[in-house]
Chain A
Amino acid sequence: MSDTRAIAAEAAGDIPGVSVARGDDQFPLETPQSLGARLGAGLLRLTARAGITVGVIVVIVLLWWAIVEVFNLPSTELPPPGSVWADLHGQWGVIWAQATPTIIESIIGFVISAALGVPLGYVISRPGPFARALNSGAVALQIFPKIAVAPLFLVWFGFGYAPRVLFIVLMSFFPIALNSAAGFSSVPLDLHDLGSIVGMGPLSRIRKLQGPWALPQIFTGLKLAASFAVIAALVSEFSGGTQGLGVLIVQLEANLDISLMFAAILVVTVLGFVFYGLVSLLEMVAIPWHVSRRHR
């Protein structure tokens, strides 16, 4: 516990009548940081992590290349990394044109999921039959095999963004709601009592006690949802539609243009990483006080 860090002697120096033996070892204190400094520190940590990720990717690419070489696979089964890279460069225009709608619908879907999921999590965390009913509804929606009805979304909502965004929301709101609910309901009793004694109204309580307390878990949900959103976008495109990387991948597979298909998959993967990374960066800026970020 923190008690083991000796209390700085100066702290008690000006209290009359107190002379308690103290250890004199100093502990380094972090200085409170400005938003800019926090952003900088977050970026630095993210860069360090990205470095490790790049290392892992290099190993995977080397393995990939080795497998193609050793088993002498034709490029219609597994194209070598070099040819995928060449296609990524050469046909970037084609890929980017299809990536844009995927990116747009992922972002819209994710934002709607967050805007719905966090308040829903709060409501679910409340006592009472209404909260339990909502919880059951959310669970049912999560278990329900949405992939099976994804083609129907097109019938219901047309070929625009609406069916795909809806699919993304249905896939990614649940981890946000569930984690937020866990966060909101884990506020210690003493903090609730503090709120009552201090005279906080319900809004004050959410803003000053429950919200900040739940933030780490809310972000766990957001990070899960960020990675789900891109996959959900792709799946919704697989099940029909006219644009997006999912559509492109299905077409390329049918045309046996496996090399370009891999290039498109690569772009999807990078998109997922970027989404996750952005939410992680936001997390580092928003909760610098979290346990996981101390003593480092």
Chain B
Amino acid sequence: MAALSDVSVVFGKKGKKIVALDRISLTLGRNEVVALVGPSGCGKSTSLRVIAGLAKPTAGTVQVNVDRKTKALGGFSMMFQTPSLLDWRTVLGNVMLPLEERDVSKAEARERAEHLIERVGLKDFLHRRPYELSGGMQQRTAAARALVTDPEVLLLDEPFGALDAITRDEMCVVLEGLVEERSMSVLLVTHSISEAIMLSDRILVMSGRPGRVLEQLPVPLSRPRKIDHRLGEKALELEARMLTLLALR
């Protein structure tokens, strides 16, 4: 669905160059969930932004099989580090926002949004504004907004980074369910090893500056996943391998 080959991104002008990404190659297959894990500053978010079209590569090629500017359903969606909800809209209004830019009737948009809001457990909060919700509920609203267009590719940029540990685990389970029940390709950028193991089919472990892909690790866990999976032998083995690669042990 999307591939980067030898992509470099350099910010700044001459003399003050910052290499955000140094010849990165990765592929995201159809209906595959890939996690990019690495220390902060390794360029994992930049990789995602290049695929999303939010950052331009300085060198290398970006291949995307999905129309980023489609007016139909499908296309790209993204969840950010912060919920990025609009305070001047209700939960329903926030979730409907992406559909306003697509060729979808208002009635259908509302129906889709209400369905997803119910799915993420916020049925009773349809007409609340974001600041009336807890952090976890805000991210669930953001998840509903990201999924309301039935994306073919979902990009997740450390979506739970700003949440507390308990809420993060909870969101992980919610998101795994949502990903499991629809067909889409997901690229997850995270610095959480457990999140990567819980959500993805394949993990790319990146090194620190300059960011390189050190190793690709398949995740040998069945779906749907439960929080218990994380405590199983296979998961612990995988976690140990990742810790070694990240030079944390």
Contact = CB atoms under 8 A, between A and B. Distances in A.
B31 interface: no
Given A197-B76, A197-B78, A209 B86 contact: yes
A29 B86 contact: no
A32 B77 contact: no
Interface residues of B, number: 53
Interface residues of A, number: 42
Nearest to B101: A199
A7 interface: yes
Given A11-B121, A13-B121, A200 B101 contact: yes
Interface in B85-120: 86-88, 90, 97-98, 100-102, 118, 120
B10 interface: no
A11 B124 CA distance: 7
Interface string A5-44: 1111011111111101100000001111000000000000
Interface in A126-164: none
Contacts of A282: none
Contacts, number: 110
B170 A20 contact: yes
B90 A5 contact: no
B152 to A, nearest CB: 13
Contacts of A199: 68-71, 75, 98, 101-102
Classify the secondary structure of A's interface with B.
loop
A2 interface: yes
A196 B53 contact: yes
B132 A11 contact: no
Nearest to A12: B121
Given A3-B164, A191-B84, A197-B54, A32 B101 contact: no
Contact of B170 (A18, A29, A209, A289): A18
Contact of B135 (A3, A11, A31): A3
B173 interface: yes
Nearest to B98: A198
Given A3-B164, A20-B166, A289 B131 contact: yes
Contacts of A186: none
Contacts of B189: none
Identify which of A17, A21, A31, A198 gathers the most chain B CB atoms within 10 Å of its CB.
A198
Nearest to B118: A14
A75 interface: no
Cβ-closest 10 pairs across A and B: A190-B84, A212-B88, A199-B101, A3-B135, A7-B134, A198-B98, A197-B78, A190-B80, A15-B121, A32-B127
9 contacts: A3-B164, A5-B134, A14-B123, A197-B77, A199-B101, A199-B102, A208-B86, A208-B97, A289-B129
Interface of A: 1-3, 5-8, 10-18, 20-21, 29-32, 188, 190-191, 193-194, 196-200, 204, 208-209, 212, 215, 287, 289-291, 294
Given A30-B132, A287-B88, 11 more contacts: A2-B135, A3-B135, A5-B134, A7-B136, A15-B173, A190-B80, A193-B54, A199-B71, A204-B100, A204-B101, A215-B88
